[in-house]
Amino acid sequence: MAGKTGTLVILTGPSGVGKGSIVAELVKFRENLKLSTSVTTREKRSKEKDGVDYFFRTKNEFMGMVNAGEFLEYADYNSNYYGTPVNYVFDNINAGFNVILEIEVKGAFQVKRKHPSAVLIFVVPPSMAELVLRLRNRRTNTEDDIMRRLAIAESELVKACEFDYIVVNDKIENAVDEILKLI
Ligand code: 5GP
């Protein structure tokens, strides 16, 4: 793959829409696609592992990384910070891999401004009722947290039209197929 740089793909969409399940499938189908692991200040959920699902850090540690220029983008979401480590992304892009980021809307636009060649994909649920159902079925969030995530989802969904592509996640196989064709 020497000499050929990879593409940066950004998958965004409201919490609960199924981005995590989609990227897990995508990386199975494409060997040259790498998923970036983000840094977050939110509390670790019981099944999550540090360094696998996220790098879990305190707000102080996170701000230290911000000041050291370690993030490609970062944003606050639901009273916590989330950020993409810049080195991982460009080490892999320069080595010829495609890299996928699973991030929220504000971060997606930051990356697009800095790197216009990045491909922005917005995943939407088939309906708001289905999004509520999916958030509840995860059983990892409190009811308060679900309500906050739904309020954020409404403000995110109006930005979908500013993305390069919109994919409806009705059936995961179809959404994965569609995204594989796009990338
Ligand atoms: P969760 O708490 O459900 O894991 O993630 C909350 C939101 O933060 C999701 O929309 C997720 O895509 C987004 N997110 C995860 N990592 C990053 C990141 O590195 N940067 C940004 N801007 N958002 C992220």
Burial class (CB in 10 A: 0-12, 13-18, 19+), 29: exposed
Kindly give, in sequence order, each residue whose CB lies less than 8 Å from that of residue 145, ignoring residues fewer than 6 positions away: 78
Amino acid at 95: A
Give domain limits for the chain: 8-182
Q: What is the pLDDT of residues 149-182, one digit of tens each?
A: 999 999 999 999 999 999 999 999 999 999 999 9
Distance CA 131, CA 153 (A): 9
Q: What percent of the chain has pLDDT over 90?
A: 92
For atom 20 of ligand 1, which residue has the closest CA? 83
Atom of ligand 1 nearest to the CA of 78: 6
Q: What is the pLDDT of residues 113-134, one digit of tens each?
A: 999 999 999 999 999 999 999 9
Atom of ligand 1 nearest to the CA of 13: 10
Query: Pocket residues for ligand 1 (CB within 6 Å)?
Result: 15, 19, 38, 42, 73, 75, 77, 82-84, 102-104, 107
Query: Do residues 150 and 142 lie in contact, with contact meaning Cβ atoms separated by under 8 Å?
Result: no
For atom 17 of ligand 1, which residue has the closest CA? 103
For atom 15 of ligand 1, which residue has the closest CA? 103
Whole-prediction pTM: 0.94
The CATH class of 8-182 is: alpha beta
**132-138 contacts, C-beta under 8 A, 24 or more apart:** 134/16, 134/17, 134/18, 135/15, 135/16, 138/16
